[in-house]
Every structure is written in structure tokens, then in C-alpha cells.
Amino acid sequence: MYSSSILSIKKFGWGFLTSSTWDPFSEVFGALPMIYGTLVSSLLGLIIAIPLGLGVAVFLSELAPSWLEKPLSFLTELLAGIPSVIYGLWGIFVLVPWLRDSVEPFLQNEFPNSPFFQGAPYGFGMLAAAIILSIMVLPIISSISRDVLKSVPNSQREAAYALGATKWEVTKIVLSYAKSGLLGAIILGLGRAIGETMAVTMVIGNRPQISTSLLAPGYTMASVLANEFTEATSDLYLNSLIELALVLFVITIIINIFARLLVWSTERKWKLSPM
């Protein structure tokens, strides 16, 4: 990847990462808006998905009666099997009109001065992408978390009950026991969100710009690649796209290392002071 992006690396250097112009006609390429778009949409998606996903997992593993647990977990796992194009279409035909006609005007009325909700409510934009991503990531987080929680030995729960803990306190103990596994589930979800292409492309609005407003259109690295790779006619253009893929790759590696460290540190803490 490095060798086939050599042209653009030579031409733009580090400027590739800090410039925000993406102009195929005058052949000036800067990746900052896409890096920003990828990180913001994924993190936002995760912020929405984590409480929901963990909530679902806790409900299924700790609280739900068994006749409800089976069909519900089946349904959440089914969400993971839907192709992303279908999510994208659903986004265009259901989510975007809903955001445009009800949610975004509402947000603008409620928070007229917030920098996050400025600009025309297109429907398409960062917010739509984040919501789509959260729905796609949800089943990954919830089903892995559920399995992790299920594998917490029952003796832990019984011991806690024996000490007179309430249901809520028992749940807290189980959660802290399963911490590293839950982190793993979240990181897997993040990985999916960062690499997601199709559904995001269909709702994010595809504009290489950085805007604090969540209603404004944005762009992600994966979307640029999917959109522009086939018709990239000049060598420099193609090289820049490959460099973009390289950047995406590096970011994924960094996140993975970070996740490893996080898991490792929680495990160590746990070993030092078991419960």
C-alpha cells in the first residue's frame, strides 16, 4: 500500500493528513475531513450504541425470564445479519425523512444556540450516519456482552445474594467481573463502525468538510474509497486514495493497540485486587 501511494506521499507529505481540501480536478488531496468524519461518526454511533447494547445484554442475561430471552436474543442477532445496503436504504427512506421533518427541527428549537445543531436540516448528515452505525453496532455489542455476562460463574451471583445484595448490586458485581470482555465487545463494535462503508455513504451526505454541526453532511474514509476508487482516472488521484486506505489501516491498528492496552490494564487491576 505504501509503494502504490508513493506519488501522493511524495507530493503532499504530512500535509495529506492536515489539509482539508479534496479536489480531484486540480489534484489537491487532503484527508482531514474524512479522518474527522470517520472518527466522529463512529464514536457518536458508539455513544448511542453502548448504553443500549449493554442494557439489552444485561436484561437478557440477568433479568429476562427464559421464555423471553431466546426470541429476543435471536432478534438482536438477526440485526447483525442484515446487509448494510439494506440499512442504507432504510436510512434513506425512513430515518432521513424522520430526522429532517421531526428530530432535527425539534433539536434546533430546543437548542437554538448550540453549535451542534446549526444549518439547514437536510436529514442527510453526520447525525444520520451515527444513528445508522449505532443500529448496526448494537447487535455486535449486545450479543457478545450477553455471552460474556452469561459466562460469569453463577457462584459469583450466589455469593453476592448470600451476602444480602439486591438485584441491582448483583448486576453491578457481574458487570465489573466481566469488564474486560465487555470492553472487547465495544472495541469490536468500534471496528465495525470505522470500517462500515455502504450504509454510511448512503446517508452521510458525502461532503469533504469539517463542521461542528451534527446536521451538516460529512464524509468518511471508507465512503470516499467506495465512491471514488472506480473512476479515479489520474495516477495521483489513485495514489491519494490508496494513501487514504493506508491511513484508515493505521488508525485501525492504533485503535486495536489502544484496546489491547485497555483490556490488559483492566485485567491487571482486577488481578491485583480481586473484587
Partner 1 sequence: MKIKILSIIILLAGLFGVTVKAQVKLTGAGSTFDYPIFSKWFDSYNKMTGVQINYASIGSGGGIQQVTTGTVDFGASDAPLTEEQMNNFKGKRGTEVVHIPIIMGGVAITYNLPSVGQGIKLDGETLADIYLGKIYKWNDPRIVKLNPGKNLPNQAIIVAHRSEGSGTTFIFTSYLSKVSPEWARRCGVSTSVNWPVGLGAKGTEGVAGIIAQTKGAIGYIELAYAKQNNLPYCQMKNKAGNFIDVNFNTVSEAAAGAVKNMPKDLRAVITNADGKSSYPICGFSWVVIPKDIKNNSHAEALVKFLKWAVTKGQADATSLYYAPLPKPVQKLDLEKLNSITSNGKKL
The residues of the shown chain that bind partner 1, judged by CB under 8 A, are 21-26, 92-93, 96-97, 100, 120, 122-124, 201-202, 205-208, 217, 219, 223, 226-234, 237-238
Closer by beta carbon to partner 1, 117 or else 219: 219
Smallest distance from the beta carbon of 25 to partner 1, in angstroms?
Answer: 4
Smallest distance from the beta carbon of 108 to partner 1, in angstroms?
Answer: 14
One-letter amino acid for residue 184 of the chain: G
- Measured CA to CA in angstroms, residue 112 lies from 75, 98, 122, 213 at distances of 38, 20, 17, 12
Smallest distance from the beta carbon of 24 to partner 1, in angstroms?
Answer: 5
Smallest distance from the beta carbon of 10 to partner 1, in angstroms?
Answer: 17
Give dist(CA 190, CA 122) in Å, integer. Answer: 26
Closer by beta carbon to partner 1, 166 or else 234: 234
DSSP-derived secondary structure letter, 22? E
Question: In which residue are the cell numbers 439489552 written?
Answer: 56
DSSP-derived secondary structure letter, 273? S
Partnered with residue 22 across adjacent β-strands are 29
Enter the C-alpha cell of residue 155. 457462584
Q: Which one, of 130, 105, 92, lies nearest residue 214 by Cα?
A: 130
Closer by beta carbon to partner 1, 18 or else 234: 234
Smallest distance from the beta carbon of 201 to partner 1, in angstroms?
Answer: 5
Rg of the chain taking only CA atoms, in angstroms: 22
Smallest distance from the beta carbon of 202 to partner 1, in angstroms?
Answer: 6
Enter the C-alpha cell of residue 30. 487532503
Closer by beta carbon to partner 1, 128 or else 174: 128
Instruction: Report yes or no: 130 and 45 within 8 Å, Cβ to Cβ.
Output: yes
Smallest distance from the beta carbon of 27 to partner 1, in angstroms?
Answer: 9
Longest dimension (CA), the chain: 72
Closer by beta carbon to partner 1, 77 or else 228: 228
Closer by beta carbon to partner 1, 53 or else 125: 125
Give the phi and the psi of residue 238 in degrees, each rounded to 5: -60, -45
Give dist(CA 50, CA 189) in Å, integer. Answer: 9
- Measured CA to CA in angstroms, residue 64 lies from 154, 193, 252 at distances of 16, 28, 36
